[in-house]
């Protein structure tokens, strides 16, 4: 087990496929979203009493919304951040960033879920809250696994980043 934790198989060969730059980002997004859509389809189907086919549409739509919102939100946040006199990302700024991002998803996904699953806004909020908690854990575990398989990004190793 300790060999696996170090990124090696018990036989000693490396399990890591070093990847950097845009290629790493593309593989990350594709794997993350494929697993996210699959797992959230199962969860949405289970907790909304909908068919897997019906829930998969909501899962795919919410993934597309999350990706688009991520791009827009981070662009706007970084524009705001560049005008601040205090530089860096302390705990308060990181917390504000995360809360703002999730609030934007709640504002868009709750009405979508209410309409799509024909449930109340409160039920849709509870469904969305479940997804938020799930994705907090999912993202942590996915990132841990991704870094074990593909190695750390250059930014985490103190090397210049590739584009």
Q: Mind listing the pLDDT tens digit of every residue in the chain (163 residues)?
A: 444 444 444 444 455 567 778 888 889 889 999 999 999 999 999 988 899 999 999 999 999 999 899 889 988 888 888 887 877 777 888 888 889 999 999 999 999 999 999 999 999 999 999 999 998 899 889 889 888 888 877 766 765 555 5
What pLDDT, on the 0 to 100 scale, is given for residue 112? Answer: 95
Residues 6+ apart with CB under 8 A from 73: 100, 101, 104
d(CA 61, CA 156): 32
Predicted TM-score (pTM) of the model is 0.71
d(CA 154, CA 24): 10
């Amino acid at each position: 087990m300790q060999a696996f934790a170090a990124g090696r198989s018990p036989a000693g060969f490396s399990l890591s496929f070093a990847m950097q730059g845009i290629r790493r980002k593309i593989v990350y997004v594709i794997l993350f979203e494929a697993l996210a859509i699959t797992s959230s389809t199962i969860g949405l189907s289970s907790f909304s009493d909908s068919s897997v086919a019906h829930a998969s549409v909501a899962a795919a739509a919410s993934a597309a919304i999350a990706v688009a919102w991520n791009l827009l939100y981070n662009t706007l946040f970084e524009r705001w951040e560049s005008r601040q006199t205090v530089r860096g990302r302390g705990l308060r700024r990181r917390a504000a960033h995360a809360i703002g991002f999730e609030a934007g998803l709640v504002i868009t996904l709750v009405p979508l879920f209410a309409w799509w699953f024909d449930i109340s806004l409160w039920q849709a909020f509870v469904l969305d809250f479940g997804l938020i908690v799930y994705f907090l854990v999912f993202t942590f575990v996915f990132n841990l696994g991704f870094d074990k398989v593909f190695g750390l990004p250059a930014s985490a190793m103190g090397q210049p980043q590739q584009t």
